């Protein structure tokens, strides 16, 4: 990678890489180093927002900033403002023509990520968002699997995102910064402290542009037993979905003609997630309770579909229990 000297200080920053960070001192070094090691001979910056970490993550970030002062900019929040607000604050501070994301438990395994995406955006000035394939890294087992980026094209792009009919990693994305700022109200992201800032961003931007998939793998998505997007207790799941409801309501308010918020169906979905966790914990008492709540919320077709789902899970775990008892 290019080491910037004082004579480079007037060179325009072409790419800003945003890392919203909270704790994870054990993984954030890998995140930062994977960006530092990019084979990119033009100027880029890394903006890291530390959302009041309670481990030694701040010390790790400061060490990197001292080592790469021309590349790394740090924003320290003195009180926890949440993932979405942290991300939006970093975006507002960014100077690059293009924006990339990389959460502090993800990393870029492809050292040519920036070069590939930059060259594509420069040669396709009418395109505003590009994504790529990615890898999943289960940090508990060490298993790494390849994933192809996918978006359901049988519905509108916005509906695909709204309904969760897509699969790609946020760490693979590159935005045209001017386009993103034109269509996102970053102050709202800070004000409402969204937890699903990536999902909100995709839904909003997909109303104005397509998302292009490049057939190359660039980033690795870190999976842990418990994280912001994978809470491990009933209480944390309910808190996560309470915050996600606010995201749904916000985007539906922006696009009332195309997006409809169905609170009853969403509550049924929450109960299905809780039921799934209860089965994994072999907590059958709560699994039955969540299933009963779920079936009471949906319409007839939903009840029929979820009844089959519930029965399948019940049989599966019953057979596992019998097998273990032998």
pLDDT in tens, 199-250: 999 999 999 999 999 999 999 999 875 554 555 688 888 888 888 888 889 9
Which pTM was predicted?
0.84
pLDDT of res. 248: 87
DSSP string, 35-47: HHT----S-EEEE
More confident residue, 1 or 176: 176
- Token pair 């997007």 is found at 229
213, two tokens: 């998939």
pLDDT of res. 261: 80
pLDDT of res. 228: 45
pLDDT of res. 298: 56
Q: In the Cβ-directed half-sphere of 145, how many Cα atoms lie within 13 Å?
A: 7
With 90 as the cut, is the pLDDT of residue 88 above it?
A: yes
CA distance 112 to 109: 9
With 50 as the cut, is the pLDDT of residue 8 above it?
A: no
Cβ atoms < 10 Å from Cβ of 5: 8
137, two tokens: 């890294």
pLDDT of res. 283: 85
Q: Which band of pLDDT confidence, cut at 50, 70 and 90, is reported for residue 9?
A: low
CA distance 22 to 17: 16
Q: Region of 132 please: left (phi>0), alpha (psi -120 to 50) or beta.
A: beta
pLDDT of res. 315: 55
The overall average pLDDT reported for the chain is 87
Instruction: Give the residue-averaged pLDDT of 133-160.
Output: 96
Q: Which band of pLDDT confidence, cut at 50, 70 and 90, is reported for residue 324?
A: low
Q: What percent of the chain has pLDDT over 70?
A: 85
Where is average pLDDT lowest: 145-154, 170-179, 263-272, 304-313? 304-313
With 70 as the cut, is the pLDDT of residue 1 above it?
A: no
With 90 as the cut, is the pLDDT of residue 270 above it?
A: no
- Look up residue 254 and give its DSSP letter: H
Residue 147 bridge partners (DSSP): 134
Q: In the Cβ-directed half-sphere of 69, how many Cα atoms lie within 13 Å?
A: 4
Closest CA relative to residue 320, chosen from 251, 235, 312: 312
Q: What percent of the chain has pLDDT over 90?
A: 65
pLDDT of res. 233: 83
Where is average pLDDT lowest: 186-195, 252-261, 276-285? 276-285
Write out the H or E segment, with its range, that includes residue 231.
Answer: none
Q: Enter the CATH code of domain 9-223.
A: 3.90.550.10
CA distance 239 to 226: 14
pLDDT of res. 108: 98
- Token pair 């927002």 is found at 49
Encode pLDDT of 271-307 as tens digits.
878 888 887 888 888 888 887 787 776 555 444 455 5
Instruction: Indicate the domain borders of the chain.
Output: 9-223, 262-325
CA distance 179 to 129: 9
């Amino acid at each position: 990678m290019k080491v910037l000297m004082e004579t480079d200080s007037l060179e325009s920053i072409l790419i800003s890489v945003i890392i919203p960070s909270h704790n994870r001192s054990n993984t954030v070094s890998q995140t930062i180093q994977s960006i530092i090691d990019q084979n990119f001979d033009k100027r880029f910056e890394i903006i890291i927002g530390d959302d009041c970490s309670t481990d030694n993550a701040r010390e790790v970030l400061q060490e990197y900033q001292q080592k790469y002062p021309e590349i790394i900019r740090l924003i320290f929040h003195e009180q926890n403002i949440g993932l979405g607000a942290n991300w939006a604050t970093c975006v507002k501070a960014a100077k690059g023509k293009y924006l990339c994301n990389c959460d502090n438990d993800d990393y870029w395994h492809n050292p040519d990520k920036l070069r590939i995406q930059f060259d594509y955006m420069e040669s396709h000035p009418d395109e505003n968002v590009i994504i790529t394939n990615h890898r999943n890294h289960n940090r508990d087992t060490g298993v790494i699997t390849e994933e192809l980026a996918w978006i359901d094209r049988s519905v509108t792009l916005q509906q695909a995102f709204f309904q969760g009919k897509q699969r790609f990693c946020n760490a693979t994305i590159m935005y045209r910064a001017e386009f993103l700022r034109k269509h996102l109200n970053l102050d709202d992201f800070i004000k409402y402290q969204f937890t699903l800032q990536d999902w909100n961003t995709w839904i909003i931007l997909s109303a104005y542009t397509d998302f292009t998939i490049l057939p190359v793998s660039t980033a690795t998505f870190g999976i842990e037993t418990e994280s912001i997007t994978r809470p491990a207790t009933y209480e944390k799941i309910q808190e996560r979905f309470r915050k996600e409801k606010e995201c749904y309501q916000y985007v539906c308010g922006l696009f009332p003609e195309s997006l409809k918020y169905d609170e009853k169906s969403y509550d049924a979905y929450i109960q299905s997630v809780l039921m799934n966790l209860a089965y994994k914990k072999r907590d059958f008492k709560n699994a039955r309770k969540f299933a009963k709540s779920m079936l009471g919320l949906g319409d007839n077709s939903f009840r029929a579909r979820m009844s089959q789902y519930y029965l399948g899970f019940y049989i599966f775990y019953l057979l596992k229990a019998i097998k273990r008892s032998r």
